[in-house]
Structure 1
């Protein structure tokens, strides 16, 4: 028996405290108890086995994958056990813990920029494909389009849940990332004719009808850069399997993640928080004979520096335990002047003060430019710099770097300490979105109890 034999057969844990008042049972499928720490161990093993059988992956070969972290960890664990090299490409938004875990398994980690169009050569998928092609013996796992991904859950996850619930399950809830888990397990459970399949999706993800703008929950949803030529969905995701999708905000996801740890003793990642919020919505109004199973993809140990860190929450503008001293939110913020990245001098409002700064935002189809995420901001333009310019001059001509973001719940003294001292304005984040602008002198005055100049 090897460590790979420990993949699967994860337990169901009944949620008891956060489900108070609900008639239906809600059970959590604890996929974080797989040896690699996530549900992705199942897909990783199935993909490697299929590649070995087909001859795509030969002894001494190199497993290559682009991932937010969990699939790479599963593949790195398997590579270590079977004598392969692992070369894993991750975006720079992946948690520090995931990157360190990959390296602990001996994987070579390549970090690339996140938040770029799919066609960009720096995109995770493009970098991974190039490295696989250039590396002797390289095999690209390709979880997004590999049929072995949903196949793993059709063969294992779905049957386990059916057996563990004594065929009593009425609703299955899971997040949608590559789509493999919900597509495979959902397909098996759907065949019974008695189970409703519900997807949990970040509010901004396009799977559930969002605009594809950045969100803060890792390993779930579908982000689309505004400059992407064609939005291509993973072949591992089979939308016809899903009966409906529940959209969940970042705030709800993170708050539930922390509640699970402190009320249920379950340390899971924020994608679990997303799924549990959706599961509780599903359970509302169900009769006592109903049984909801919600899948928990990974462990919170991979996110201790993020969702469980009070400082991180405050910096991103999410609710956090009270901090000492005056907060950024104690200073009245001005509404930001938001303009599309392709705006010209002609688009500037007629009435603006000489000290006004415009924030240039990548436009998204069908969505007005409001409360943007920092990842959609390309720069800031002091309107004084545009004086005398021709009306058709692009504002990008005058663009400076984006305003440094500070959280509305962040202590003012901490915000001042970590932002450039020569920056006069700061973008205020509320729930991770830009909702206002404050001046550095006003924060300085707040911390020194002196009036701002």
Structure 2
């Protein structure tokens, strides 16, 4: 796990003379979150929070669950993961094959969506297993710390990074990589990639097909002060980019990879030629053969035949409009969490 390769992505995916370096985290056994799962489990064991043989319980859309299953095998812990009906059947099958219990919630929370529904089921399982431990990936600082080695790998592999493009979900890898790289390169530009209908950067929550990025809750691990700009990407746009990568570069991935690749393609085209751009590809394509790379599934969800615009829509601040297509904003804010009645206070400008 770790020491994953970087790949130069140039034309024909990008325009002639421009390109970027992609960090291929799909070369880990389960994906980028193997790093976080192993580190969080190891740290909890060292602090005595996770007794030998105790159960690990966590909410996941897939990738962290695979990492926790790996950690369960490595450290001798039973693992229970809580997910929702959107988890790909292949991932659920792999989790069970690796010995994990899979619990699926059946209805979203009225305010917090599927994520909050999963977290409430996690609380029930923790109460049923008194010695159990939850990594709480959305708020656990060990999730952030797990990605420092990845940042050092990029420094060793690329020598210099001028721009970092990362997807944002729990906030772990964007914060962990971004903080270390900025300590090496103070002028580093950090571009966050979110999905439409995600609340992380101040948009209203809504139904989302894309998994692995975006959120219906407010993860404390998100380092808002790091970001110079944020882009929201729609599902059809991510599908186009993931498939275009597969045809032109062979290396590709799922929702997060497609969204990051689409944005980084634009960043490469609009940046000076000497700019060294690194994009983090969180996983590979294999778990998406029944969704992103399945024509019938994509057609049923109206995701095909949608050529993205050459440039993103621009908005001055996140609350200006509800975004439904690729959109860029240079004013990054920390949203005020929703109150019990669903309203919000005033957002704080983070950068």
TM range (shorter): 0.7 to 0.9
**Aligned residues of 1:310 and 1:320 also touching (Cα < 8 A):** no
**Aligned residues of 2:12 and 2:248 also touching (Cα < 8 A):** yes
Aligned residues: 310
Structure 1 segments unaligned to the other structure (5+ residues): 1-6, 224-231, 322-364, 371-453
Of the three residues 273, 276, 283, the one matched with 2:258 is 273
User: Which secondary structure state, in structure 2, belongs to the residue aligned with residue 259 of structure 1?
Assistant: helix
CA 1:152–1:307 in structure 2 vs 1: closer, same or farther (change >3 Å)?
Answer: same
**Aligned residues of 2:19 and 2:265 also touching (Cα < 8 A):** no
1:263 matched to 2:248 = yes
d(CA) in 2 for partners of 1:102, 1:121: 19
Of the three residues 170, 173, 176, the one matched with 1:181 is 173
d(CA) in 1 for partners of 2:35, 2:41: 10
CA offset digits 1:289-322 (Å, max 9, x no partner): 111111111121111111111100111112259x
d(CA) in 1 for partners of 2:172, 2:116: 25
Q: Cα offset for 1:120?
A: 9.0
**Aligned residues of 1:114 and 1:124 also touching (Cα < 8 A):** no
d(CA) in 2 for partners of 1:121, 1:200: 19
User: Which secondary structure state, in structure 1, belongs to the residue aligned with residue 258 of structure 2?
Assistant: helix
1:198 matched to 2:183 = no
d(CA) in 2 for partners of 1:243, 1:123: 32
d(CA) in 2 for partners of 1:140, 1:127: 12
User: Which secondary structure state, in structure 1, belongs to the residue aligned with residue 23 of structure 2?
Assistant: strand
User: Which secondary structure state, in structure 2, belongs to the residue aligned with residue 284 of structure 1?
Assistant: helix
d(CA) in 2 for partners of 1:216, 1:98: 16
d(CA) in 1 for partners of 2:13, 2:188: 20
- Where does residue 108 of structure 2 map in the other structure? 115
CA offset digits 1:254-291 (Å, max 9, x no partner): 11111111111013112100011111121122222111
d(CA) in 1 for partners of 2:181, 2:143: 17
TM-score w.r.t. the length of structure 1 is 0.65
CA 1:121–1:98 in structure 2 vs 1: closer, same or farther (change >3 Å)?
Answer: closer
Of the three residues 24, 34, 43, the one matched with 1:30 is 24
Of the three residues 25, 35, 46, the one matched with 1:42 is 35
Q: Cα offset for 1:17?
A: 3.1
Structure 1 segments of 4+ aligned residues over 6 angstroms from their partners: 119-122, 365-368
d(CA) in 1 for partners of 2:179, 2:16: 27
- Where does residue 67 of structure 2 map in the other structure? 74
- Where does residue 238 of structure 2 map in the other structure? 253
CA 1:107–1:45 in structure 2 vs 1: closer, same or farther (change >3 Å)?
Answer: same
- Where does residue 103 of structure 1 map in the other structure? 96
5 Å matches for 1:45-444?
45-113=38-106, 115-116=108-109, 117-118=111-112, 123-153=117-147, 155-167=148-160, 169-191=161-183, 192-223=185-216, 232-319=217-304
**Aligned residues of 2:168 and 2:174 also touching (Cα < 8 A):** yes
CA 1:127–1:18 in structure 2 vs 1: closer, same or farther (change >3 Å)?
Answer: farther
d(CA) in 1 for partners of 2:284, 2:52: 31
**Aligned residues of 2:82 and 2:118 also touching (Cα < 8 A):** yes
Structure 2 segments unaligned to the other structure (5+ residues): 307-318, 325-351
User: Which secondary structure state, in structure 2, belongs to the residue aligned with residue 14 of structure 1?
Assistant: strand
User: Which secondary structure state, in structure 1, belongs to the residue aligned with residue 149 of structure 2?
Assistant: helix
User: Which secondary structure state, in structure 1, belongs to the residue aligned with residue 200 of structure 2?
Assistant: coil
User: Which secondary structure state, in structure 2, belongs to the residue aligned with residue 182 of structure 1?
Assistant: helix
d(CA) in 1 for partners of 2:70, 2:80: 12
d(CA) in 2 for partners of 1:35, 1:189: 25
Determine which structure has greater relative contact order: mean sequence separation of CA pairs < 8 Å that are 6+ residues apart, divided by chain length: 2
Q: Cα offset for 1:50?
A: 1.0
**Aligned residues of 2:11 and 2:17 also touching (Cα < 8 A):** no
TM-score w.r.t. the length of structure 2 is 0.83
CA 1:317–1:292 in structure 2 vs 1: closer, same or farther (change >3 Å)?
Answer: same
User: Which secondary structure state, in structure 2, belongs to the residue aligned with residue 123 of structure 1?
Assistant: helix
